[in-house]
Structure 1
């Protein structure tokens, strides 16, 4: 009888241990999923905030004109004042990039919620509207394909810089990407 009792206790420990491991695993999955969601929400908020800051800067600079009459001095002063008031993150170069973000994506609907600010910061290093569109779409596709394990945006840009020998080929490739996206949405 004692042997059977020990087997029952031993079996109960195995069951309890398995249930405990399942509990730990379940909690781990819950944490991972919600951390991913929180990170995505923060990234979306940051992208939206930077786009709006860029819009405010451009509207202030232009005051209804197509082009601003002054530019860099505003960013220098704004950088100093925002840094004093709100801390790091408002260097002149970052404000310039934020401003460029709005200039390059003047309609927020064209900004992908799938990409983080670091993606846009890397993409915006290009001077070509066509390249920016291509890189943004390619980063988005890479993220969709790889989930949260997205390659660094600079890796995507550098990989495709080698691939993009001329403007015409880039235009054709971008049209194919956009055409494929339109087909899947239909």
Structure 2
């Protein structure tokens, strides 16, 4: 695709570039929404597993300590996305 294939109408280039930028921005937005939805599902699944496996579906004060310990281990390997607040 060379120079000759660029739109030939006098004012087509600015419109064409604007349309491409809009497509890129929409794509980025869709990716962000998908990633956010996936992260919410991941954190919910982690909380569910903690509740089922460790807390045995009961509230426990030591649950805070478990979350803190798990957060420290996950943060070390995966980064700050696994803070106590997120888990």
TM-score range, shorter-chain basis? Answer: 0.7 to 0.9
5+ long unaligned stretches in structure 2: 1-7
The alpha-carbon distance between structure 1 residues 35 and 61, as it changes in their structure 2 partners (threshold 3 A), is same
What is the deviation of 1:91?
2.8
| Matching of residues 100-115 of structure 1 within 5 Å | none
Alignment-derived partner of residue 37 in structure 1: 30
Question: What's the TM-score, normalizing by structure 2?
Answer: 0.73
What is the deviation of 1:70?
2.8
Question: What's the TM-score, normalizing by structure 1?
Answer: 0.38
Residues 52-77 of structure 1 deviation map (CA, whole Å, 9 limit, x = unaligned): 111111112223x4334731221221
Give the one of 10, 18, 22 matched to 1:25: 18
The alpha-carbon distance between structure 1 residues 32 and 78, as it changes in their structure 2 partners (threshold 3 A), is same
Higher helix share: 1
Alignment-derived partner of residue 81 in structure 2: 89
Q: Name which structure has the greater RCO, CA cutoff 8 Å, separation 6+.
A: 2
| Matching of residues 136-151 of structure 1 within 5 Å | none
What is the deviation of 1:34?
1.0
Aligned residue pairs, count: 80
Higher Rg? 1
RMSD (Å) for aligned C-alpha atoms: 2.0
Alignment-derived partner of residue 178 in structure 1: none
Residues 91-149 of structure 1 deviation map (CA, whole Å, 9 limit, x = unaligned): 33x15xx3xxxxxxxxxxxxxxxxxxxxxxxxxxxxxxxxxxxxxxxxxxxxxxxxxxx
